[in-house]
Amino acid sequence: MNDSNKNTDLSAEEMERAYIESDSSYDGIFFLGVKSTGIFCKPSCPARKPLPKNVEYFSSAKEAVFAGYRPCKRCKPLEENGAAPEWVRQLLDIIEKDPSARYNDRFLRSVNIDPVRARRYFLKKYGMTFQAYCRGRRLGISFDQIKKGKGIDEVALGYGYDSHSGFRDAFFKTFGTSPGKSKSSDCIMAAWIESPLGPLLAAANKDGICLLEFSDRRMIDAQFAALRKYFKSPIVPGENNHIAQLKRELKKYFDRSLKEFTVPIIYPGSEFQQKVWNQLLKIPYGKTLSYEEMALNIGSPGAQRAVGHANGLNRIAIIIPCHRVINKGGGLGGYGGGLWRKLRLLEIEKEANNLFD
């Protein structure tokens, strides 16, 4: 997930409902990428509906293209109302037959298309020039191949680049990192995780999980901005070993068979935030503390409000259990994922304790 991020203003639940019901009123508002096929579609696509676990969402066709997806031939997500000029359809078909080729102005003239016309049309309709679209298709595929383990030399020369330096320059401009670092820990990988309380968005680098949030939380954009600030790494869709481990442990947590997470986590912040988050990690499973008690425990009596604010900025929900902090009188207090989720998390842990006991 690069800086443009695949998040939209819609919740994952709403987008899932829209594509399952083929709701055309959402066409152009978001696009869905189907991981199992490598294509992206409009919500109204009449094709067989993919499983939610195989879907990721994008707010624009440009984001889907640069994430490595190719447009669906059935719903034609690059065409307004399913129709585009014949010359555009022919051009897109040519590119999809060989996305690794270089399509310059000379090529456009050879197929009787004015390069200026192509540039203006793509810029107006898709938010990128024709050349940017072609580059996005090449780089998106290249990045996917590198993540799957192919060598940089093979990818660079196999996807339309005459030199390593040209490939590296183009790659860096798009993803904010060199291709060699893209398959290593210098990338933050981000993935969707389904849960009984709604989809979660997880992110991890080489050191561990650095983000776990419910996907409909309004602070998601701010949290991603914080990741970019602290780690200075591109955020791309994908999964590493930490995310795979997190998926397994979350399943056990929601099944009431896991009390303590062992997946590595990394959570940079201010000195005060670190104190609060470290104290959260000390709250026993199934127990709660008040904001006042938290303030006393970190040596800042009377700083309940500041503790509450730091709680709200916690980027790793559930694992760093900010849901275990409540008001002094026993009220739930606040929770970024919604109070109903906070209540349900506390209930899950209480139920699990009863089972273990």
**Does 1 reside within a domain?**
yes
pLDDT average, residue stretch 214-227: 75
Strands lying side by side in the sheet with 55-58: 55-58, 31-34, 39-41, 70-71
CB 286 within 8 A of CB 294: no
- Inter-residue contact 143 to 171 (CB < 8 Å): yes
What's the rounded mean pLDDT across residues 48-53? 90
Report the predicted TM-score, pTM, of the whole model to 2 decimal places. 0.52
Does residue 185 have a pLDDT over 60? no
Point out the domain boundary residue: 77, 109, 127.
77
Domain of 43, CATH number, reads: 3.40.10.10
Least confident of 64-78, 81-95, 256-270, 286-300: 81-95
The mean-pLDDT minimum among 3-12, 105-114, 242-251 falls in 3-12
Q: Note the pLDDT tens digit of each residue in 54-82.
A: 998 888 787 787 777 888 988 888 875 54
| Burial class of residue 350 (count of CB atoms within 10 Å of its CB; 0-12, 13-18, 19+) | middle
319 in the same domain as 281: yes
Task: Tell me whether residue 96 is in a domain.
Answer: yes
Active-site residues, by number, are: 322
Does 266 map to a domain?
Answer: no
pLDDT for the residue numbered 117: 82
Quick one: tokens of 225? 């901005």
* pLDDT tens, residue by residue, 126-181: 666 788 777 767 666 665 665 565 555 555 444 445 555 555 555 555 555 555 55
In a domain, 142, yes or no: yes
Query: Domain span at residue 206?
Result: 194-254
Q: What's the pLDDT score for residue 9?
A: 62
Average pLDDT, the chain: 79
